[in-house]
Amino acid sequence: MSTVKSVPSNHRLARIIPTVLTMALLTLPAVLSHAIVPVSASTDTSTEQLVTDYSAAYIGQVAVSSLPAPSVSDVGALSLPDLSLSEQAQTVSTAPVVVVSPGSQQFIHIVKDFAGTPGTNPNPCRCTPPDMGLAASSKFVVQMVNLAGTIWKNNGVKVTTFSLSDFWFLPVRGGPLGIGMSDPQVLYDATADRFYASIIDTFDVNRVNFAVTATNDPTGAWYIYRVIANCNPTAPYGPCSPASSNTLPDQPYIGYSRDKFMIAANDFDETTGLFIGAQYWILNKAEMLSGCTVPTPCPGGRNIDALTNVVTTTNNHWAIRPAQHLSTTSTAYMAENCLHLIDGAFITNNCTPPPPNVPPPPTNGGINVFTITGTPPDPTTVTVTTVTVAKMLFPGMADQPGNPASLGTNDALRMLSIVWRNDVLWTASHEGCKPTGDSASRTCARLDQIQTAVGPGCPAPPCALQDFDLGFLGDYVFYPALSTDSNNNLVLLYGHSSLSLFPTLEVTGQLATMLPTTLAAPVLLIAGTAADYTGRWGDYFWAATDPATPNTFWVSGEFRTISLFQGWSTQVGEISFNAN
């Protein structure tokens, strides 16, 4: 999520921790793991290496088949907190970004679609907006939304709906933010044939819980772990610093490669709303998959090796996203939209600071690509390289029928979706842009394709291959989610609204054989029929590749048929490409 949404709506960046922090267990002993500190830096690239730290803990095991269905309580409705940074006045971009609308090529089909988890029964959250994860194997589709989880067979037949409160051992309500957990995500790892999940423990405030299935069956056992945000031990196996108890790790994204599991979050002080810094963990995947049992036992049966880092905002890091690696690689990637902070305000997608009192140049945008080699506890290195792309601007509010500029497209400039396959990284964000022929700035989806290996036109990777916006004249596009298949075809789910169109879910895509910066004719997944008045539409939608069926994907997003505060719905769809 942006995590909590009743915290002050504008969070000034009054303080940034100027040193690299490390992590430790709050009370449990841990195995040696590693943290990263910068050892060299330049304008375009910096490299980070590891020092000793102590960080991840095994919580326990849960069997989904034994969990009760969620029950709706009589708790009051809750607006989840919006942890964002202040925005300067919106201006129309003069950067040379290409804005395209979907073309006429038709090859996308909705194979099946069905109702996902709604904001009402059986979801006990009674909150808005939905934060969702979606994952698909050859047998199952798994969705987690706010406080409810649902598992279907791959044919769309529901298997079970279960309480995330029982799954994560956390309360529905409580803690300083009023809710026990937020921001669930779910991924499927075809190489390991396992499902992963994560959530913020907002009851204890400073923890990210994450999980992996014990087998390829998500209705069976899951191993549950945790990491603690902004934890700074005074000695080996020492306690966290008192300040860490107020650190909220907002919007933790997860990703994986052949041998690594990654988590990244933005740390906020929940008592003040101030941004502390971006933080990430890199874990030994084999140990995590073992559940602290043979053949890779964890000492004491409680902990796993981990690599931990709090990145200082001296380097202007914000919303680092680990990639889901859809083909096998031991080199892992993360990425973020680079930015610059002036006077404590998050202003725009600037990679380097402008001179004092000089407006930022219009083309000074970029994406920071994190290249990770090695696996804890062995030597592990992270290299950060800036890839130049057109500058991004804040998206602003979107129109709805009868309600101009009323739909909240929050999460400005955060990277919303990222996958890697066959040496190509795709990322999606939403930003403000000016579609061709338009007189005003609209919300558009930014798509970037980055090559991570030497190839034609890329002698020194990473290199930007495509950098363009999806936009419509007079309309708004938001919360894009993407994935790719084994043929390098791209699927893209997005929200779409205007003064004549209620927020609606549509799907487009790009075949690997199509010209760059072109997209297919869109198809409608489901039409919204009601406006949203909450000021928050979402934090992210999701797309996943079907690992068993070529040219096939699963997607999920938000829509409304009623305007009741918690009356939103989600839809799940199976998407097929006819690539001929």
Q: What is the pLDDT of residues 163-222, one digit of tens each?
A: 999 999 999 988 888 889 999 999 999 999 999 999 999 999 889 999 999 999 999 999
pLDDT for 107 beyond 50: yes
Q: Is the pLDDT score of 462 beyond 90?
A: yes
Which residue is associated with the tokens 């007189």? 439
pLDDT for the residue 377? 77
Question: Which among 496, 63, 17, 438 has a CA at the least distance from the CA of 232?
Answer: 17
Asked whether 547 and 188 are in contact (CB, 8 A), the reply is: yes
pLDDT at 5: 35
Q: Which of the pair, 457 or 555, is modelled with greater confidence?
A: 555
Residue 312 has pLDDT above 80, yes or no: no
Question: Among the listed ranges 121-130, 227-236, 382-391, 405-414, which one has the minimum average pLDDT value?
Answer: 227-236
Q: Which of 46-50, 180-184, 560-564 has the lowest mean pLDDT?
A: 46-50
Give residue 294's pLDDT band: very low, low, confident or very high (50, 70, 90).
low
pLDDT at 32 over 70: no
Contacts (Cβ under 8 Å, ≥6 apart) of 578 = 107, 109, 551
The tokens describing 40, both together, are 């060299």
Q: Is the pLDDT of residue 3 over 60?
A: no
What pLDDT, on a 0 to 100 scale, did the predictor assign at position 540?
93
Instruction: Please give the mean pLDDT across all residues of the chain.
Output: 82
The single residue listed with the structure tokens 């950060």 is 384
% of the chain at pLDDT higher than 90:
57
3 state SS of 149: strand
Report the helix count and the strand count for the chain, using DSSP H and E: 2, 40
Report the SS3 class of residue 290.
helix
pLDDT at 6: 30
Residue with tokens 């945000």: 229
Cα gap 403→385, rounded to integer Å: 42
Strands 568-577 and 127-128: unpaired
Q: For 496-540, write each residue's pLDDT tens digit.
A: 999 999 999 999 999 999 999 999 999 999 999 999 999 889 899
CA distances from 225 to 43, 87, 118, 304 (A): 37, 35, 27, 9
| Least confident range of 4-18, 278-292, 361-375, 445-459 | 4-18
Q: Residue 373 class from Cβ within 10 Å (0-12 exposed, 13-18 middle, 19+ buried)?
A: middle
User: CA 392, 395, 398 angle in degrees (round to 5)?
Assistant: 155
Average confidence (pLDDT) over 463-488: 97
Overall average pLDDT of the 345-356 stretch = 67
According to the model, what pLDDT value does residue 416 have? 96
* Ordered DSSP codes for 71-97: ---SPPPEEPP---B--PPP----S--
CA distances from 282 to 49, 307, 574 (A): 12, 5, 32
Task: Kindly tell me if the per-residue pLDDT of 445 is higher than 80.
Answer: yes
Residues 22, 37: Cα–Cα separation, whole Å:
9
48-52, 337-341, 378-382: lowest mean pLDDT where? 48-52
Checking if the pLDDT of 378 tops 60, the result is yes
In this prediction, residue 296 has a pLDDT band, given cuts at 50, 70 and 90, of low
Which DSSP category does 167 fall into?
H
What is the maximum span of the chain, computed from C-alpha positions, in angstroms? 65
Q: Which of 221-230, 236-245, 266-275, 352-361 shows the highest mean pLDDT?
A: 221-230
Given this model, what pLDDT does residue 316 score?
64
- At 561 the pLDDT is 97
Average pLDDT over residues 316-345: 86
Give pTM, 2 decimals. Answer: 0.88
* Number of other residues whose CB lies within 10 A of the CB of residue 381: 14
Residue 7 pLDDT exceeds 50: no
Quote the pLDDT of residue 311.
37
How many Å apart are CA 339 and CA 318, to the nearest integer? Answer: 8
Which pLDDT does position 283 carry in this prediction? 87
Compute the distance between CA of residue 554 and CA of residue 542 in angstroms, rounded to an integer: 8
CA distance 12 to 343: 9
Query: What's the pLDDT at 93?
Result: 44
| pLDDT-derived band at 307, boundaries 50, 70, 90 | very low
pLDDT at residue 360 in the model: 55
Q: Which of 537, 550, 533 is nearest to 396 (CA)?
A: 537
Category of 237 on φ-ψ map: left (φ > 0), alpha (ψ -120 to 50) or beta: left
Q: What is the pLDDT of residue 538?
A: 86
List Cα–Cα distances, 201 to 178, 205, 275, in angstroms: 12, 6, 18
Cα distance between the two ends of the chain: 38
Q: How far apart are CA 573 and CA 193, in angstroms?
A: 22
The domain spans of the chain are: 33-69+95-577
pLDDT given for residue 401 in this prediction: 97
pLDDT at residue 71 in the model = 78
State how far the Cα of 126 lies from the Cα of 115, in Å rounded to an integer: 18
What pLDDT score does 34 carry? 28
Q: Which CATH architecture has domain 33-69+95-577?
A: 7 Propeller (2.130)
Q: Which residue has the higher pLDDT, 227 or 444?
A: 444
Q: Is the pLDDT of residue 1 over 80?
A: no
Residue with the bigger pLDDT between 349 and 185: it is: 185
Q: Where are the beta strands (DSSP E) in 24-146?
A: 33-41, 45-53, 56-63, 78-79, 98-100, 108-115, 127-128, 132-136, 140-145
Q: What integer pLDDT is reported at residue 48 of this predicted model?
A: 52
| Least reliable range by pLDDT among 40-49, 130-139, 316-325, 506-515 | 40-49
Is residue 229 within 8 A of residue 249, CB to CB? The reply is yes
pLDDT at 44 over 80: no
Give the type of residue at 175: G
Residue 248 in this model has a pLDDT that exceeds 70 = yes
- Lookup: tokens for 521: 């004719």
